[in-house]
A and B are shown apart, each in its own frame.
Chain A
Amino acid sequence: MPEYKRSNMLADKPSGYCPGCLHSLATRLISDVITELGQEDNSLNVISVGCSALNILYWSGDFLSVAHGRAPAAATGIKRTNPERLVFAYQGDGDCAAIGLAEIMSAANRGENFTVIFANNQTYGMTGGQMAPTTLIGQKTTTTVYGRDPATTGYPMKMCELISQLEAPRFVARYALNSPKGVREARAGIKKAFEMQLAGEGFTFIELLTNCPTNWKMSPLDTLEYMNTNTIPYFKPGVYKDVTAKEAE
């Protein structure tokens, strides 16, 4: 029976993530895939701003911490000058879908050969639960106290759908981390994206639907159910673009 132990790329200390937060699981998946691919010494984590920045204390592999929203730009500078490194950015909602929208779309459009992993939990966790570009219609946050109203705040931003419209990206997929099946698929997706990057394929984008028990003001178990009934119907999991699948046909 396999031993369940701390993942290699995570420091031997508390993560800093709230109990029940799926960020912990997401970082663990990334860590395990890096180990499986033998990339522990070659990986470089571009750490963005938001709860994702807790990786600074928690991630034991090489990392570069960067400004809010600019991870795809910094990763561009890294990868262009050191193409052999396995480079990934781990971004949250605000980082990827609001303040860094120009950076993510432009890096994707240039087909930069790195991987962006986007943790979508529909809120701004670190600053205390304000509306995110991905907040669902009707979802309550500290800046949408009566629930998100599309008349004044628009609609939740679908990043996989946007990015998969571009010509250059090679693999774009969304997974929900609220079920064992989703977790297994997410792990396989991350692995595929990293393998494609190592093969020099080009831009890969993985969106992980996560939760925020603290700011959703729910128990962790309730958040998983909320994701089933609210998040997943709007942000549909699946592979949005996979050029290797087309080539295999």
Chain B
Amino acid sequence: MSEKRFMKGNEAIAEAAVRGGCRFFAGYPITPQNEIPEYLSWRLPEVGGSYVQGESEIASVNMVYGAAAMGTRAMTSSSGPGISLKAEGISYLAAAGLPALIVNISRGGPGLGSIQPAQSDYLQATKALGHGGFHAMVFAPNSAQEAVDIVYDAWEYAERDRNPVLVLMDGCLGNIMEEVELPPMKELSDADLPDWSLTRRNGRDWQGNITPIYTEAILEGLNAMAGEMYKVWEEDDVKVEEFMVDDAEYVIVAYGIASRVSKEAVLTLRAEGYKVGLIRPITVFPFPKKSIRNLDYDRVKAIIDVEMTIPAQMREDIELQVLDRCPVYEYGRSGGVLLDDEGVLEAVRDIVTGGTF
């Protein structure tokens, strides 16, 4: 049975994870994601799962690594500085072919930065979540509801690919309270355990082993397979929202919280008669290249990258698709200073009215 609740984004993620089959969480407190571990600390035991407050982010992600090896749907969450610490473990998850969910409720950076919301971790999330040149699918929901839907199905992707999945949000979406409709509990049994999991042997005659270290020829093969997998993602798994793009002369590209503020600007400017549209990557990796590449550049006069970080981090991904066919502008706020409707509206209006932005 689904049900509606008025919930904080972080708590909605936690409940969606449980309903999606998560039975293990380890994490270390960091603002602005604390409601996720707090919620799961009492919720997981209710459903026969376990929660561990790790001694560090490093330990926590490695606890997830252990639980994931047993076929358990496992997750950890953190914010920028903590994700940096988890980078080691995320790389090992990818190397060992272990599915897991990592949630980043990002804040101002770099360094300790600020505890206030910022979209400061796009590059980390999409280019190098850890050493060794691997990728994870990165989902960037823009509402508590979309976060619920994505987290609920995160392990379906992670187990399909035997690869970690990252959900990238920011402190606004983690702390906002909105109405969410919660999906029913996925009832999983031992029969659903992946066949590679290191659960009790039960008479199986093969050795169960999972490792992040390989001989060079095998590793090269695995690297090549990963490369092929990323191409398949680009064909099959891109999620994108295109809003009023068909006749748009100016196209905003924005994800997460920035996309909501941008959409407000699109609606206002459309009412004023300006042809503005929005492309919203829901997966930021794989990036919705085609949506931007295939725009009609005889019509589109400019692309505007709106992000809650300075400098814009998605810009290079956009530019690689625009290929100089129109100018790419950026607008952002940073350091924990929030985007707001008026600021984005004025910046975009300035561009569409041929201002000197």
Contact = CB atoms under 8 A, between A and B. Distances in A.
A81 B70 CA distance: 7
B292 interface: no
A102 B209 contact: no
A73 B54 contact: yes
Contacts of A78: 66-67, 69-70, 198
A75 B70 CA distance: 11
A67 B207 CA distance: 21
Interface stretch (A54-62, A160-168, A232-240): A54-62
B212 A67 contact: yes
Contact of B207 (A62, A79, A110): A62
A66 interface: yes
Contacts of A63: 207-211
Given A78-B69, A102-B56, A62 B198 contact: yes
Given A70-B89, A81-B23, A64 B59 contact: no
A77 B92 contact: no
Contact of A64 (B23, B50, B52, B198): B198
Contacts, number: 126
A85 B67 contact: no
B209 A82 contact: no
A53 B215 CA distance: 13
A82 B208 CA distance: 15
A106 B209 CA distance: 26
A76 B208 contact: no
Contact of B62 (A53, A67, A79, A110): A67
Given A65-B212, A76-B52, A77-B24, A82 B70 contact: yes
Interface string B181-209: 00000000000000000111111000111
B213 A103 contact: no
A196 interface: no
Interface in B231-261: none
Interface stretch (A29-37, A40-48, A145-153, A179-187): A40-48
A63 B198 CA distance: 8
A209 B62 CA distance: 27
Interface string B65-77: 1111110101000
Contacts of A47: 211
Interface core residue of A42, A64, A78 (most chain B CB under 10 Å)? A64
A103 B55 CA distance: 7
Task: Report the contact-size class of chain B (Cβ under 8 Å from the partner).
Answer: 35 or more
A106 B70 contact: no
Task: Report the contact-size class of chain A (Cβ under 8 Å from the partner).
Answer: 20 to 34
B65 to A, nearest CB: 5
Nearest to B203: A41
A102 B54 CA distance: 10
Interface in B73-130: 74, 88-89, 92, 96
A74 B66 contact: yes
Grouping DSSP codes into helix (H, G, I), strand (E, B) and loop, the B interface class, with mixed when no group exceeds half, is mixed
Interface string B22-53: 01101000000000000000000000001010
A77 B200 contact: no
Given A41-B200, A65-B96, A106-B59, A74 B209 contact: no
A84 interface: yes
Interface in A64-108: 64-67, 70, 73-82, 84-85, 102-103, 105-106
Contact of B213 (A42, A53, A82, A85): A53
Interface in B285-320: none
B66 A66 contact: yes
Contact of A81 (B50, B59, B88, B203): B50
Nearest to A78: B66
Contact of B55 (A41, A66, A106): A106
A62 B208 contact: yes
A62 B206 CA distance: 9
A102 B65 CA distance: 17
A81 B72 contact: yes
A60 B68 CA distance: 21
A66 B24 contact: no
Contacts of B207: 60-63
A84 B209 CA distance: 18
B200 A85 contact: yes
22 contacts: A44-B198, A56-B211, A64-B209, A65-B213, A66-B66, A73-B58, A73-B59, A73-B60, A73-B65, A74-B62, A74-B63, A75-B66, A76-B59, A77-B24, A77-B26, A77-B63, A77-B72, A78-B198, A81-B70, A103-B58, A106-B55, A106-B59
Interface of A: 41-42, 44, 46-47, 53, 56, 60-67, 70, 73-82, 84-85, 102-103, 105-106, 110
Given A56-B209, A77-B26, A77-B63, 9 more contacts: A64-B209, A65-B212, A65-B213, A74-B66, A77-B69, A78-B70, A81-B66, A84-B200, A85-B200
